[in-house]
Structure 1
Amino acid sequence: MANFKSILLCLHGHLKIVVVEGVMEDITLDGHKVGRKSQGEITTAFPNLIGKPTNLRQIEQGLDQINRLFSRQATINLGAGSNSGGSILDVHIEKQKPWLITLSSDNLGAKATGIYQTRLSLSFDDLLGINDQWSFSYQRSMDGSPHHFSHKRPNSDTLTGSFSLPYGTWTTGFDGTWSQYHSSVKGIFSDIMTAGKSLSLTPWISRVIDRDQEGKTWVTGRLTWKYSDNFIMGSRVDVSSRKLAIATFELDHSRKWLGGELSAHIGFHKGLAILGAYDDKEQENATKNSPKGQFSKLSFSLGYVRPFSLHQYNFRYNTLFSGQLSPDTLFSSEQISLGGSSSVRGVREAIYYGNNGVFWRNELSLLLPGFSSRMGRKFMSQFSPYMALDLGAVANDVSKNSFGGRLVGATLGFHATGDITDVDVSYSNILTQSTVREKGNKTGLFQVRALLRF
């Protein structure tokens, strides 16, 4: 049959194949022309596409910009236009309520500022109609219980705020944090009252520079300005009070890999003598190993999440390797620390801290179904027992304000997730430690975290 068609083609003429480059004719919303009310959403997600060659990667990027909002779920349909090679992008956006309130409590705080923490968060989507996102929170730390609000020391207050705004492959935003604490230290004759406050402001801008069907790469630039003031018995402690300005350049990549999700990050941080920040050249009494305001630091991380099945059971493995390197002596706020819920679990306070170090967190979860009823799923749609093993090391160099060592911790717990609740209960302990444990920094922690969504 194929030979017969070839003979006919040779006898009757030539076959001409014309390849026409696809062009984006228009973008519609639910099959209709985009109205004025929705123009900002479409323009910031899919800018400058009309009249240009159809680019699937740019369309995927626009979907990501809409779907990053917790109240939005966008899908698209790419259909034929009225002209040869023309395409029409039709966007459908499912919208939920544009605000979210969460209330959470835990016992993961520090002894110096209160181990019980209660946090109220409020988030908004699309307030300006341009796929913008806003978030604000207030956290109170105290002793006694998670809801024991009093002026009794120790206690602390933290306010945070952030917003982000997209435009195609670009996203810009601003993060801010203000905090204060009141504590006390046992003295020979009476308690010594301590207090402090801090502020951090960070504008940032990010751009996706490459993407394909499996992953994407993006770069981010940040400028952080922060200050801290600390007081003992009402007098300012100059040695621990300072301003810092830090420029950061980050390169990130995420992709699907071997049935899981791989993420990689590298960041370069440089301290700057601007905006009234600590200037090394103005420090007359500084030595070669004094902490540097104009420091250089490299941070990095590699993470992987992989779901898998074994004997009809569903599991999830989550691993993260993270660390930093610096040739300089750093202030404590820029150092890496080991010990605590964000690094090596098993102890409340950091055991080691320094300029150079790494840690490796591993967690294996068994994913079990929760309640099947509609009401039950609100409180527990999935129940996940898990076990974790964390390892870390910090380089020891007392001359550069680094108290290092090696640390291994283990955790057993469960995580219950529902539509309106999250509960995490765990027990962690330190398995090995390369130095003698300090008195007062107790290992073996029973931790509870609970969150309620409104």
Structure 2
Amino acid sequence: MHKKCFFRDAFLPVAMVLLATFPAYANNADISNASRENDRLQREQQLQLNNDLNNAARSTRPPATYDVPEPQIQHGKGDGCRQIDHVVLENAHNISEQVQGELVHPYEGRCLGVDDIQSLLADLTKYYIEHGYTTTRAYIPEQDLTTGTLRVSIVQGTVQNLKLEDGDKDSINVTGAFPLVEGQAFNIRDFEQGLDQVNRLASNHATMDVQPGDKAGDSVVVIKNEPEAPWHVNIANDDYGQRSTGRYQTALTGSYDNALGLNDSFSYTHRQSTPLSEHNKNSVSNNIFFSVPVGYFTFSAGYSNSAYQSQIVTPGNAILELAGDSQNVFVKGDYMAWRNQANKLDLSATMTQKNTNSYADNQLLEVSSRTLTVIDLMADLTMVLDGGATLDINGGVSEGVPFWGALQDAPDLDTTSPRAQFTKLVFGSSYNRPFEVADEKFSIATQLSAQYALNVLYGSEQMSIGGPYSVRGFYNTSVANDHGYYTHTDLSNMQTLWSYEGQDVTARPYLGFDTGYVNGRVSGTPSGSMVGTAVGVGLKYSAVDMDLFTAKSLVRPGTADEGLTSFFRLSLSF
């Protein structure tokens, strides 16, 4: 009896501990799987949100340019010349003394003829034109050249006043687009910038006309516009969604131009999985974007939210119901720091609050639920190259900061744990070049997106590859980690199939080739390369756009070959 009691008293507590511990280990494994899956689903939803936001903020209009003829050298008569030791520029307020010296030095200390003086005037005028002062002129006043000094008078072009001609529709806030220009030196860059700001609204088609003012050098600038309806609607359907949250997606975007009379833009996008998606596998998102330009500055703000439902099967064949939601708020300021007739440099600062919540069987998963605040500082250089090619290069830094409700890192956090206060470097570029072969119109377009993290990142900040937004040829497979890049390249041919009721039906068959790679700061975390190829066609008629493509993976990160993956997108704009 004593032995039995000892066995019962000693063994049963241990057995109870073991039995209680086993489900805990199983739950921990399930929670880990659920957290990883929730991170992946939220990343994919964020990619869709970013794509919707970029479409809302993007202007498809080419930058405004105003062609100014090159100054012509007027050849004089006679072979006589005068010894000129010094050239003095009068009223050259927009040229530094150093540049003045560089411009006049070739004409000092030698005998100048009429052609030489005309060449000097052409050089000065060319300098002003290249720097945007297209109505500023140089001329030679009456003077005595026997002194050895040549005086060149600069007549600075000024803006006498600014007028709007739009049929009294008040479609443009002239003061906001062209602030503080009246009475100032005429610089064509100010007006190219203002036209870009005005024409980023789809309802505007503004141009400018420069007319002579009341005095020499004065100009009256007339902004002409034939505005369309201020509202626009786009309805789109695609199968870019995830199978686990609803592959088939429908998006509705509405926008309104100049609602506040500030050249402002407002847009709202609602996206959700369609009824074709499976039960308990659905998603929904909303995106609001608003921007106001003021000359060389653009201020914007936005809010987005998203939610999803999904399921995973645990190693023990149990079904876990997953759910998640996120809310993002951002404010952004852009400054056009420099531009000439073909190129421009934009600087921007963005602060974003990112709040995410993840659930498994209606229980909050704290390990994958957090609030981050991120500041992005970026520079973006856009260049127009020979042959009509365009090159865009951008780069900057993303910094996680401990305010605006953000999670704060513990002071003793080890180097293998993700950081809320992180630093990552980001880089991107895009190149587009049209060309012709045997009278056929082609274009090649490629883009690169890359990042390098100085700390271990949470899932929302990682680089993800695999899918129609990055490396085509993958649908069920994606890899994400701290560092990475992907490239997206298309070679396309533009064809006009036929015309119907005055509108062309166009086709754009294309071949695509994508690459990508990710790895992490912690060994043993997901990494690998992806390469995929695609063949597709874009069709357009009036307000209808369609894109169809089939893709195939060529290099996989140790995952199964998914075979051919096909996608479509159909949109209607009005």
Under a length normalisation based on structure 1, what TM-score does the superposition of the two structures give?
0.90
Task: Tell whether the 8 Å contact from 2:171 to 2:258 is kept in structure 1 after alignment.
Answer: no
* Residue of 305, 321, 324 corresponding to 1:193: 321
1:369 aligned partner: 496
- Quick check: 1:442 aligned with 2:562? yes
* Residue of 237, 240, 259 corresponding to 2:365: 237
- Quick check: 1:417 aligned with 2:552? no
Tell me the SS of whatever aligns to 1:370: strand
In the TM superposition, residue 41 of structure 1 has moved relative to its aligned partner by 1.2
Task: Tell whether the 8 Å contact from 2:257 to 2:264 is kept in structure 1 after alignment.
Answer: yes
Residues in 2 aligned to 1:295 and 1:144: alpha-carbon distance in whole angstroms? 40
Residues in 1 aligned to 2:293 and 2:491: alpha-carbon distance in whole angstroms? 35
Residues in 1 aligned to 2:483 and 2:385: alpha-carbon distance in whole angstroms? 30
Q: Deviations over 1:226-284 (max 9, x none)?
A: 101111111100000000000110100101012211101102100011122111126x7
Residues in 2 aligned to 1:327 and 1:4: alpha-carbon distance in whole angstroms? 70
In the TM superposition, residue 371 of structure 1 has moved relative to its aligned partner by 2.7
Task: Tell whether the 8 Å contact from 1:142 to 1:153 is kept in structure 2 after alignment.
Answer: no
Task: Tell whether the 8 Å contact from 1:230 to 1:237 is kept in structure 2 after alignment.
Answer: yes
Residues in 1 aligned to 2:370 and 2:401: alpha-carbon distance in whole angstroms? 13
AA aligned to 1:249 is L
In the TM superposition, residue 79 of structure 1 has moved relative to its aligned partner by 1.2
* Residue of 223, 229, 234 corresponding to 1:91: 223
1:331 aligned partner: 458
Flag structure 1 segments of 5+ consecutive residues without an equivalent: none
In the TM superposition, residue 17 of structure 1 has moved relative to its aligned partner by 6.2
In the TM superposition, residue 165 of structure 1 has moved relative to its aligned partner by 0.3
Moved over 6 A (4+): 4-7
AA aligned to 2:250 is T
Residues in 2 aligned to 1:351 and 1:182: alpha-carbon distance in whole angstroms? 19
AA aligned to 1:367 is M
Give the 3 Å change call, closer, same or farther, for CA 443–176 of structure 1 in structure 2: farther
Q: How many residues are matched?
A: 433
In the TM superposition, residue 66 of structure 1 has moved relative to its aligned partner by 0.6
Flag structure 2 segments of 5+ consecutive residues without an equivalent: 1-75, 83-113, 115-141, 145-150
Task: Tell whether the 8 Å contact from 2:503 to 2:542 is kept in structure 1 after alignment.
Answer: no
Question: Whose strand proportion is higher, 1 or 2?
Answer: 1
Task: Tell whether the 8 Å contact from 1:102 to 1:451 is kept in structure 2 after alignment.
Answer: yes
2:199 aligned partner: 67
In the TM superposition, residue 29 of structure 1 has moved relative to its aligned partner by 1.6
1:50 aligned partner: 182
Tell me the SS of whatever aligns to 2:173: helix
- Quick check: 1:129 aligned with 2:274? no
Residues in 2 aligned to 1:221 and 1:14: alpha-carbon distance in whole angstroms? 54
Map 1:400-411; keep pairs closer than 5 Å.
402-411=525-534
2:511 aligned partner: 387
Residues in 2 aligned to 1:405 and 1:137: alpha-carbon distance in whole angstroms? 34
Tell me the SS of whatever aligns to 1:243: strand
In the TM superposition, residue 18 of structure 1 has moved relative to its aligned partner by 3.8
Question: Whose helix proportion is higher, 1 or 2?
Answer: 2
In the TM superposition, residue 130 of structure 1 has moved relative to its aligned partner by 1.4
Task: Tell whether the 8 Å contact from 1:115 to 1:143 is kept in structure 2 after alignment.
Answer: no
Percent identity over the alignment? Answer: 29
Map 1:138-149; keep pairs closer than 5 Å.
138-142=270-274, 144=276
Tell me the SS of whatever aligns to 1:317: strand
Map 1:39-438; keep pairs closer than 5 Å.
41-142=173-274, 144=276, 152-187=279-314, 188=316, 190-259=318-387, 260-281=389-410, 286-374=413-501, 376-377=503-504, 380=505, 382-396=506-520, 398-399=522-523, 402-433=525-556, 435-438=557-560
AA aligned to 1:453 is S
Task: Tell whether the 8 Å contact from 1:119 to 1:138 is kept in structure 2 after alignment.
Answer: yes
Residues in 1 aligned to 2:342 and 2:410: alpha-carbon distance in whole angstroms? 48
Tell me the SS of whatever aligns to 2:194: helix
Task: Tell whether the 8 Å contact from 1:153 to 1:183 is kept in structure 2 after alignment.
Answer: yes
AA aligned to 2:539 is A
- Quick check: 1:451 aligned with 2:568? no
Residues in 1 aligned to 2:205 and 2:172: alpha-carbon distance in whole angstroms? 16
Residues in 1 aligned to 2:542 and 2:228: alpha-carbon distance in whole angstroms? 14
AA aligned to 1:3 is G
1:3 aligned partner: 78
1:21 aligned partner: 156
Tell me the SS of whatever aligns to 2:538: strand
